[in-house]
Structure 1
């Protein structure tokens, strides 16, 4: 019942002008920062490990800014689910999509590197409005929200959602069929299938899937970043130039290259990375857990 009430509230919120909705999101984020002790702790630990040069007060302010933009992304997701295509076209600006279009029209498999920034779903919607893609989907424990997320991600075009439990060859086949794969490889999924490579100078368990999938599919890697713009100006989705000399013969070097690129992107908008995730929960043998 509570889930359905939450969905009904989100539906009502999507009618609000974006500046009003953004203020509501900022307020929700501020409240979460002050009340969510556990998640606040995770964010502060992540920021301490990644930005040791900052003073404690600077990291605390950055954490608050993160919760605010996270709150915005949660409420503004209602726009992605219910706002008209015309309204979304005004709110979602895409630059560089010609890089992607050129590859797709040439029949080249494409692997989109899309790190976990809080505007990620908006970027996915913007790309889906332009291309039929594939993406990997994690089933949600709440059935109401699971159905809502599925419907939202399949709202535009002919989108293919793949379960994490499906074999790798399914993703490879999707790319070879002409669907860019919207791929999120930058979370700690545990020791299995991960390798340790630096992330902000800290060894981080990282799935080397970007390198391996690119090799298996003969795919070109194209980076994609989504930025929530200030002053409720909408979202900017930037599709970068295709990566050259990737993959190499060294999977670890490829994965380190990916993390270094993500670091650079984070430094351009540090409050918008998904810091509430325990990025360093899996440690090399003998190292203490930081959380």
Structure 2
């Protein structure tokens, strides 16, 4: 494996460990820093306190945990990039899916399906577990941001090592949209992140936590054009692994304003519920102002809350 720019030898060493051991190693590092009064922080305590309406002490605890989970997510990207296929397969044994019968039933139909996770926790290993366990051999279409890092693309490309052809579509690539739709109609598994800021697509008002937030929203038209069932996913880190929770699946019946509003409300509830369950694991808290830009570019988060 070629050297990876910006990755320390210590991080690479920890990433090479089996999943439970690397989680323990990372937690130990954070505890050592805390013991010497140098706890890493994410700088989000004020935001947690005001947006989530938490006591100051709890907001500061979440701030420390957010720093841990940001580091954990980076560690999991690195592990998926550097560990062997066999080692990754062993790591997947530590990912638990709640209500697996939901995904088994949808997979058995052979029809297209849209998996809609958030950028939370170790979402990549959670997604990989779902694909390998429930959709082996199926084609995969991943909608990605135009500014995804090359490292992230290299990790996603490793899905092909598990026998699944992968195709990428940048969310702003209009020329590639119709060919991707035709590809997806042939029974593909489509991965669409539900929590992208409005600049990545046609925004829809989807208020969360009492804030006038908007999100990039195209899952309604994508589901309608492909005939895919939408499965909102919550993926969270646990002490020794990860937990994947499929929310209630739904289909999109029409391409009109009423149906768009219905689907937007379903996704809004998915986003808010998932973040509220594990607020320290959502990676887009620092970008929250972007979600308000469509409503009021000058509205500070603290005043809005």
Task: Choose which of 295, 299, 303 in structure 2 pairs with 1:284.
Answer: 295
User: Which position in structure 1 is the counterpart of 2:58?
Assistant: 58
User: Which position in structure 1 is the counterpart of 2:169?
Assistant: 162
TM-score (structure 1 length as normaliser): 0.80
User: Judging changes above 3 Å, is the alpha-carbon distance between structure 1 residues 173 and 28 closer, same or farther for their aligned structure 2 residues?
Assistant: farther
User: Which position in structure 1 is the counterpart of 2:17?
Assistant: 16
CA distance in 1, matches of 2:194, 2:71: 23
CA distance in 1, matches of 2:265, 2:29: 35
> How far does residue 243 in structure 1 lie from its aligned partner after superposition?
2.4
> How far does residue 253 in structure 1 lie from its aligned partner after superposition?
3.7
User: Judging changes above 3 Å, is the alpha-carbon distance between structure 1 residues 160 and 98 closer, same or farther for their aligned structure 2 residues?
Assistant: farther
> How far does residue 241 in structure 1 lie from its aligned partner after superposition?
3.9
Comparing 125-134 with 111-120, greater Cα deviation is found at 125-134
> How far does residue 35 in structure 1 lie from its aligned partner after superposition?
9.0
User: Which position in structure 2 is the counterpart of 1:111?
Assistant: 114
**Structure 2 contact 172–200 (Cα < 8 Å) conserved:** no
Is 1:225 the counterpart of 2:234? The answer is: yes
User: Which position in structure 2 is the counterpart of 1:91?
Assistant: 94
Is 1:135 the counterpart of 2:150? The answer is: no
CA distance in 2, matches of 1:191, 1:126: 27
CA distance in 1, matches of 2:231, 2:187: 14
CA distance in 2, matches of 1:166, 1:28: 41
> How far does residue 288 in structure 1 lie from its aligned partner after superposition?
2.2
Structure 2 runs not aligned, ≥5 long: none
User: Which position in structure 2 is the counterpart of 1:196?
Assistant: 205
Q: Residue 121 of structure 2: SS of its match in structure 1?
A: coil
Is 1:260 the counterpart of 2:269? The answer is: yes
Is 1:242 the counterpart of 2:249? The answer is: yes
CA distance in 2, matches of 1:255, 1:49: 25
Question: Could you report, residue by residue, the CA deviation over 1:78-117 in whole angstroms, capped at 9, with x for unpaired residues?
Answer: 3333142441232222344443343343232211121121
User: Which position in structure 1 is the counterpart of 2:70?
Assistant: 70
Question: Could you report, residue by residue, the CA deviation over 1:173-197 in whole angstroms, capped at 9, with x for unpaired residues?
Answer: 2331111211102121438621322
User: Judging changes above 3 Å, is the alpha-carbon distance between structure 1 residues 285 and 177 closer, same or farther for their aligned structure 2 residues?
Assistant: same
RMSD: 3.4
Structure 1 runs not aligned, ≥5 long: none
User: Which position in structure 2 is the counterpart of 1:6?
Assistant: 7
User: Judging changes above 3 Å, is the alpha-carbon distance between structure 1 residues 192 and 271 closer, same or farther for their aligned structure 2 residues?
Assistant: closer
Q: Residue 224 of structure 2: SS of its match in structure 1?
A: helix
Q: Residue 108 of structure 1: SS of its match in structure 2?
A: coil
User: Judging changes above 3 Å, is the alpha-carbon distance between structure 1 residues 286 and 107 closer, same or farther for their aligned structure 2 residues?
Assistant: closer
> How far does residue 7 in structure 1 lie from its aligned partner after superposition?
7.5
